[in-house]
């Protein structure tokens, strides 16, 4: 037992983060990994995404699927590849770089040449780019329905405060506002899919366990105030931050991992709102998924000293911090998109249940209360509409 730590504010040890620096880390005891994989046809932390897609081919075949943030060797490419293995009618992949998107499509074609791939170039941090990309989808008469949307793209831990061209802190603009705007603009075709298909119609938002380090700072989205000046309910969790990184960063006006955490909390709250507005009326479900410890380019801003400190703490706690491959990291996104056994998100109480998934299962025990609060979800929806200058009523 490490002295001075308030363990009641931490998640259970089985899901304790191995490094706040990557915040994709989901700690698992190595014996639990073995047990999960030993059970036949049980989806666990290390199940490849393609294996899950193969288990439910009818939910993929002939469907139109969008995956954002696709580039070589990325989580997005692994997610797209799993879907491609089961012959969707259209696989639309998005990214900021035309070159990286085309390289990714060539990689997909090499393995699954009979799928119709479409490149959609979109900078999620730019509302004009998002609007133009959505217009292409809506104006394309060959795309009648959109069955699955995987909002996978993201940026993480930008070292200095950066605003988008629309004047929004860049992590929040990219990870939340861009996906909020894009998804809502194309929702008419998602709704049409739900009205005409017997397979699940789902919207998946890729979040992170790292959401636990900060709620949405409604009074200070753009990090203009010191954390101590925020309302108490909007302050980051300084204790977790100091334990894992060696510093609480309580005096920093801006800290990259707090901005990232805020955006990841927003991803979960957005899924709650989508369920509130779309499930009962159309049968469209939305889940927020934590992919686990995946070493991708999103970690490029992490500093070696913080990584060293975090890994030291993990070893002190006696945990295994092994990472997933991208194919394993994509598994929960695919499961959330097509898994028929997933129950509807429970919206009956103030704190929502069943919206947050990790390791191919619902993980209510390890999602922060500020990320599952219905009132905060509605507050975020209103703020998001204000930031994009458009109201959405479905």
Please tell me the predicted confidence (pLDDT) of residue 139.
98
Distance separating alpha carbons of residues 14 and 7, to the nearest angstrom = 13
Neighbours of 172 (CB within 10 A): 26
Beta bridge partners of 379: none
Backbone angles phi, psi at 130, to 5 degrees: -65, -45
Backbone angles phi, psi at 71, to 5 degrees: -150, 165
3-state percent helix, strand, coil for the chain, nearest multiple of 5: 45, 10, 40
Q: What homologous superfamily does CATH list for 28-388? A: NAD(P)-binding Rossmann-like Domain (3.40.50.720)
**Contact assessment for residue 61 and residue 86, using Cβ atoms and an 8 Å cutoff:** yes
Please tell me the predicted confidence (pLDDT) of residue 349.
98
Please tell me the predicted confidence (pLDDT) of residue 245.
78
Strand order in the sheet with 90-95: 116-121, 90-95, 64-67, 148-151, 202-206, 285-290, 356-358, 361-362
Q: Which two tokens stand for residue 89?
A: 């009618």
What SS3 state is found at 140?
coil
**Contact assessment for residue 47 and residue 240, using Cβ atoms and an 8 Å cutoff:** no
Distance separating alpha carbons of residues 98 and 77, to the nearest angstrom = 14
What are the CA-CA distances from residue 102 to residues 72, 84, 367, 373 (Å)?
Answer: 9, 15, 36, 40
Contact partners, residue 145, CB within 8 Å, separation at least 6: 64, 189, 190, 192, 193, 196, 197
Distance separating alpha carbons of residues 6 and 105, to the nearest angstrom = 48
What are the CA-CA distances from residue 390 to residues 146, 261, 266, 284, 387 (Å)?
Answer: 22, 25, 18, 22, 8
Going from the first residue of the chain to its last (394 residues), give the mean pLDDT of each consecutive group of 10, the final group possibly shorter: 33 35 35 35 90 97 98 97 98 98 98 98 98 98 97 95 98 98 98 95 96 96 95 95 86 96 98 98 98 64 59 57 85 97 97 97 96 98 98 95
Phi-psi region of 296 (alpha: psi -120 to 50; beta: other; left: phi over 0): beta
Contact partners, residue 4, CB within 8 Å, separation at least 6: none
One-character DSSP codes across 215-245: ---TT-TT--S-GGGS-GGGS--HHHHHHHH
Rg (CA), the chain: 20
Report which DSSP code applies to 10. Answer: S
Report which DSSP code applies to 345. Answer: P
Give the domain ranges of the chain.
28-388
What SS3 state is found at 367?
coil
Q: Please tell me the total number of residues recorded for the chain in this structure.
A: 394
Beta bridge partners of 113: none
């Amino acid at each position: 037992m490490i002295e001075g730590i308030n363990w009641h504010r931490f998640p259970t040890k089985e899901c304790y983060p191995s490094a706040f620096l990557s915040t994709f880390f989901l700690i698992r005891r190595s014996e639990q990994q073995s047990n999960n994989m030993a059970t036949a046809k049980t989806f666990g932390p290390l199940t490849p995404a393609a294996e899950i897609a193969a288990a439910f081919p009818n939910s993929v075949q002939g469907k139109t699927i969008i995956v954002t943030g696709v580039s070589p060797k990325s989580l997005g490419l692994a997610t797209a590849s799993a879907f491609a293995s089961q012959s969707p009618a259209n696989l639309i992949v998005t990214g900021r770089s035309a070159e990286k998107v085309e390289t990714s499509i060539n990689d997909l074609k090499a393995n699954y040449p009979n799928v119709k791939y479409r490149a959609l170039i979109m900078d999620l941090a730019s509302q004009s780019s998002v609007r133009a990309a959505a217009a292409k989808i809506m104006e394309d008469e060959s795309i009648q329905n959109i069955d699955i949307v995987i909002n996978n793209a993201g940026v993480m831990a930008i070292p200095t405060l950066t605003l988008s061209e629309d004047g929004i802190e860049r992590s929040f603009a990219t990870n939340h506002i861009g996906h909020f705007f894009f998804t809502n603009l194309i929702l008419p075709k998602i709704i049409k899919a739900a009205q005409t298909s017997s397979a699940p119609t789902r919207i998946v938002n890729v979040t992170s366990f790292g959401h636990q380090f900060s709620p949405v700072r409604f009074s200070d989205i753009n990090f203009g105030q010191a954390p101590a000046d925020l309302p108490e309910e909007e302050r980051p969790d300084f204790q977790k931050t100091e334990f894992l990184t060696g510093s609480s960063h309580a005096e920093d006006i801006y800290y990259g991992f707090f901005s990232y955490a805020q955006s990841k909390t927003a991803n979960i709250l957005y899924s709650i709102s989508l369920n509130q507005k779309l499930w009962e009326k159309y049968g469209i479900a939305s889940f927020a998924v934590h992919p686990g410890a995946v070493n991708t380019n999103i970690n490029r801003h992490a500093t070696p000293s913080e990584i060293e400190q975090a890994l030291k703490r993990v070893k002190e706690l006696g945990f295994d911090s092994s990472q997933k491959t991208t194919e394993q990291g994509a598994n929960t996104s695919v499961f959330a998109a097509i898994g028929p056994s997933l129950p509807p998100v429970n919206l009956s109480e103030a704190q929502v249940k069943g919206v947050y998934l990790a390791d191919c299962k619902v993980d209510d025990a390890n999602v922060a209360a500020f990320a599952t609060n219905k009132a905060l979800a509605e507050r975020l929806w209103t703020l998001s509409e204000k930031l994009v200058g458009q109201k959405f009523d479905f």
